[in-house]
Structure 1
Amino acid sequence: MKILVTGGSGLLGQYLNIFLSKENEILSTYNRNIGNCGQYNSAKVDIRDSDALLRVFKSFSPEIVIHTAAISDTIVNSEISPKDVYDVNVNATFYIVKLCREFNAKLIYTSTDLVYAGYRGSYLKEDAKLIPLSLYAETKLMGEVKIQEALDDYIILRTALLFGFGLNHSRCHFQFLFKQLSKNIPVKVFIDQYRSPLSLFEAAKLISEMVKKDLHNEIINFGGPERVSRYELAERLCELKGFNKNLLIKVKLDDMPELPKVEDVSMNIEKMKSFGLVPKPLNEMIKNVIDKAY
């Protein structure tokens, strides 16, 4: 199939390039950083540039668009304005939706588990209450709404905490955690935020399987099989890699009031599994990350 990947140089995008290129014709877009896109058919595109996007669609005519490009910072800083976040996460998404409709392409959209109300309990299903607490989560939910209102063929993935080793310039907290522990440097980890972690490697593999399936107009919890706190995830890493658990400093969400207080957005993934998309156990995913990178 012909698959267009937005955010191809991002944390997930670079893994998607690797997996999707094995059996498909891909066009991977990037903006400021090229990442591994230079190894594949790629184009430098600012997704806020509607003319550039139109040229990409006209020249490539994708059958599937996997839209991962976003501003994902949970705290807006001086370098990123709320308008920037809205333009990228909402306006650009809406234009991509219109192009998908015009060119008859299926859209796979990576949303976030952070759209859920983080105080409603564990293992949330897709119909659980939605209360995004950050501008990032709010704009991702707005993207979901625009997709459902305007498109006839889509898959919305409410993506869990992704962990692993970012390629090239891309980084995530798990990578920072690994490096600190490997140098015997203490690191702070939340004990009271619960997620359903999914490795970058596993996420890309599952999406590469998903594009082969006849799925339409679905909202899917896209995560791992276990509910763990960030501290428990760090403990698992210590156990599997032999790091010193005493280096883990327990902190609570209240200790960092500048961050959105999202306590529990662990997800029920039975719907995902019903489509034959079954992630590996958490320990196996962690071990796979370690073995692939080191």
Structure 2
Amino acid sequence: MKILVTGYTGQLGYDVVCEGTNHGLEMIGVGSNDLDISDEQSVYQYVKEINPDAIIHCAAYTAVDKAEDDKENCWNVNVNGTKYLTNAAKDFNAKFMYISTDYVFDGLGEIPFVETDAPNPVGYYGQTKLEGEKAVQSLLSEWFIVRISWVFGLNGNNFVKTMLRLAETRDELNVVGDQVGSPTNTYDLSRLLLKMVQTNKYGIYHATNEGFCSWAEFAEEIFNVTEKKVKVNSITMEEYPTRAVRPKNSRMSKQKLIDNGFNPLPGWQDSLKSYLIALKHEVK
């Protein structure tokens, strides 16, 4: 199976390509330097030349705060880029998987969101990702939409790496404690996506590591595992204002994965430990 993966230079895209290659699939990873997905003609020509069996669309404009002021670029990548790739998938009969986000929800309440809950994004980034979902659904009759959250991988920057960097010079940190979600290791996630795309079990899925925590609890676990003596002060979102509003409740139900025969991802604590071992090995 030949699979084209956008966003290859990012955390998830990189792991999807590596994992697929390790399992004998023909993987073609493409980054923004290789292809401008907001250029319709370029996308069409690129997909035509590759002629993939499937496209896993990981590329996105993910600078959540910057998106509030850089709306045109955010829209061009997250909405137009998705439309162009979807159309190309349709023209060349490729399966299409769109990677979406917990940010399509408003984050109200404390109950995990299910796939059928009505999206209601509170920021521009989330709005564009939702419009991308709509584009996929309107242009194709069969598709995968996979909503993910709080990812961390070996390739690129993430919360875990930031906490470890800050721990080098700080013995106390203020971290938001009233946002709750599921940290997700892109290694685990990539394996699931590749299994999924080789099936015909289409639809919307939520895919994260099992369990929930706040960012402050996530930070505490990072320091516990790495034996860093850093005190974490749990603060509110109001005490740490950002340009974009973030959903407080990013809990998502993964029941649909189980119902369709996919194994749940490992618990986030176990996956964090595995990741930190891999990170330490890579740094050496």
Give, in angstroms, the shift of residue 120 of structure 1.
3.0
Query: For residues 1-294 of structure 1, what are the structure 2 equivalents within 5 Å?
Result: 1-22=1-22, 23-32=24-33, 44-76=34-66, 81-165=70-154, 167=155, 170-216=156-202, 218-246=203-231, 248-257=232-241, 258-274=243-259, 275-294=261-280
Question: SS state of the match for residue 69, structure 1?
Answer: coil
Q: 1:100, 1:107 within 8 Å by CA — same for their partners in 2?
A: yes
- Report the CA distance between 1:159 and its aligned residue: 0.8
Counterpart secondary structure, 2:277 = helix
Q: Distance in 1 between matches of 2:262 and 2:147?
A: 17
Partner SS for 1:264: coil
Question: CA offsets, 1:56-113, max 9 Å, x none?
Answer: 11111111100011111111269x7211111111011111111111111111110001
Task: Please report how far the alpha carbon of residue 185 of structure 1 lies from its aligned counterpart in structure 2 after TM superposition.
Answer: 4.4
Q: Deviations over 1:94-150 (max 9, x none)?
A: 111111111111111100011112113222111223211111110000010111111
Whether the aligned pair in 1 keeps the contact of 2:182 and 2:268 (CA below 8 Å) is no
CA drift of 1:236 comes to 1.6
CA drift of 1:179 comes to 1.9
Residue 15 of structure 1 deviates from its aligned partner by 1.1
Offset, 1:155: 0.4
Letter of the 2:213 counterpart: V
Q: Which whole-Å CA distance do the structure 2 matches of 1:140 and 1:123 have between them?
A: 19
Which consecutive unaligned segments of at least 5 residues does structure 1 have? 33-43
- Unmatched tracts of structure 2, length 5 or more: none
For 2:219 and 2:66, the matched residues in 1 are separated by: 26
What per-residue deviation string (whole Å, max 9, x for no partner) do you get for residues 191-250 of structure 1? 00001221122111221222233322x10011121111111111222222212241x232
Identity of aligned residues (%): 24
Q: Partner amino acid for 2:186?
A: L
Structure 2 contact 160–222 (Cα < 8 Å) conserved: no
Q: Are the equivalent residues in 2 in contact too, given 1:124–1:268 (CA < 8 A)? A: yes
8 A contact 1:97–1:147 mirrored in 2 = yes
Q: Is the 8 A contact 1:119 1:264 kept in 2?
A: yes
Q: In structure 2, what is the Cα distance between the partners aligned to 1:112 and 1:293?
A: 25
1:270-290 Cα shifts (integer Å, max 9, x gaps): 112333232011221011001
Secondary structure of the residue aligned to 2:11 is coil
Contact 2:98 2:145 in 1 (8 A): yes
Work out whether residues 171 and 230 of structure 2, in 8 Å CA contact, stay in contact via their aligned partners in 1: no
Range with greater deviation from structure 2 (68-77 or 140-149): 68-77
Could you tell me which amino acid in structure 1 is paired with residue 31 of structure 2? Y
With over 3 angstroms needed to count, the CA separation of the structure-2 counterparts of 1:135 and 1:228, relative to structure 1, is same
Find the aligned partners of 1:143 and 1:104 in 2 and give their Cα distance.
Answer: 19
User: In 1, Cα distance between the equivalents of 2:172 and 2:220?
Assistant: 13
The number of aligned residues is 277
Change in CA separation of 1:152 and 1:282 when aligned onto 2, cut-off 3 Å:
same
What is the CA-CA distance between 1:172 and the residue it aligns to? 1.2
1:35 paired residue number:
none
Closer/same/farther in 2, CA of residues 61 and 261 from structure 1, 3 Å limit:
closer
Counterpart CA distance in 1 for 2:118 and 2:200 is: 28
Give the TM-score normalised by structure 1. 0.89
CA RMSD of aligned residues (A): 1.7
2: CA distance, partners of 1:52 / 1:18 = 25
